[in-house]
A and B are shown apart, each in its own frame.
Chain A
Amino acid sequence: MATSIRIRAKAKGDEVTVKSLITHPMETGQRKDKKTGDKIPAHYITEVKCEHNGKTVVTAQWGPAVSKNPYLSYKFAGGKAGDAVKLTWVDNKGKSDSAEAKIK
């Protein structure tokens, strides 16, 4: 499952911009299956943790109103090229994944 995250970070001076894409259905639990009429159970990411060199920078708490295949971008100060940025997500079914990238 390690392929569910794409993460890219770029340093400009002291400021680092991190952009990431996660592959996830983000099912709200309100949608119905068109063929059977049954509700599709909710399945969405609840928490995303973003770290820089092991230190948490941003903790995101999400509800089902975040779009499918979520995009997340944030900025922080004090990073430089070569540093590690890491993203970890957990969804409401207990699944999780994480990925790490180097700042460019």
Chain B
Amino acid sequence: MQRRSFLKGTLASSALAVAAGAGLLNPRQVLAAWPESAFTSKSTNDAMGSLFGTADNTPSNKIKVKAPDIAENGAVVPVSVTTPLSATAIAIIAETNGTPLAANFELAGSAKGFVSTRIKMRKTSDVIAVVKSGGKLYTARKNVKVTIGGCGG
């Protein structure tokens, strides 16, 4: 009996160690929840759905996506999103990446509808900017031609 409980104990603790080593124990507690399911979604619609609760969106000409027409290096594609809409969140999606969602920005009251960052793109595709405003989703696209992919070797 003693031996059994001892074995159980070591088994449990080693499982925990493996989990920590594999990075499964993320620092979720430190900041707000990281939407893991959205970042592991394989399609644009799934990613939008699990991030915002719905994939229903309206194309809008009030969103400006600034990205190069041709990106020589897919590992570094500068993307800026600007919108006059009162945005509460802006997400950047690279449509043909293995997991399309690249980044999501939650904007508090005083933040302007603008974010700029750099993303990796596997191949030529549309970059989609999703703006959440008044509980609704608005999107805009910009095609970026990638000559050298930026995901994996």
**Chain A: residues with CB nearer than 8 A to chain B?**
15, 28, 30-32, 34, 41-42, 46-47, 49, 52, 55-68, 70-79, 88, 90-94, 96
Contact A59 B115 (CB under 8 A): no
CA distance A94 to B28 in the complex (A): 9
Residues of B within 8 A of A96 (CB): 27, 30
CA distance A26 to B39 in the complex (A): 14
> Does B110 belong to the interface (CB within 8 Å)?
yes
Residues of B within 8 A of A79 (CB): 110
**Chain B: residues with CB nearer than 8 A to chain A?**
23, 25-27, 30-32, 34-35, 39, 75-78, 80, 94, 97-99, 101-108, 110-112, 114-121, 150-153
Looking at the complex, which one of A15, A46, A63, A67 makes contact with B26 (CB distance below 8 Å)? A46
CB proximity of B104 to chain A, nearest CB, Å:
4
Interface SS of chain A:
strand
* Contact status of A55 and B115, CB under 8 A, knowing A63-B103, A67-B75: no
Contact B151 A65 (CB under 8 A): yes
Given contacts A46-B34, A67-B118, A91-B27, 18 further A-B contacts (CB under 8 A): A30-B151, A47-B31, A55-B108, A57-B107, A60-B104, A60-B106, A65-B119, A65-B151, A67-B119, A67-B150, A70-B117, A70-B118, A71-B117, A74-B115, A75-B114, A76-B112, A88-B31, A90-B30
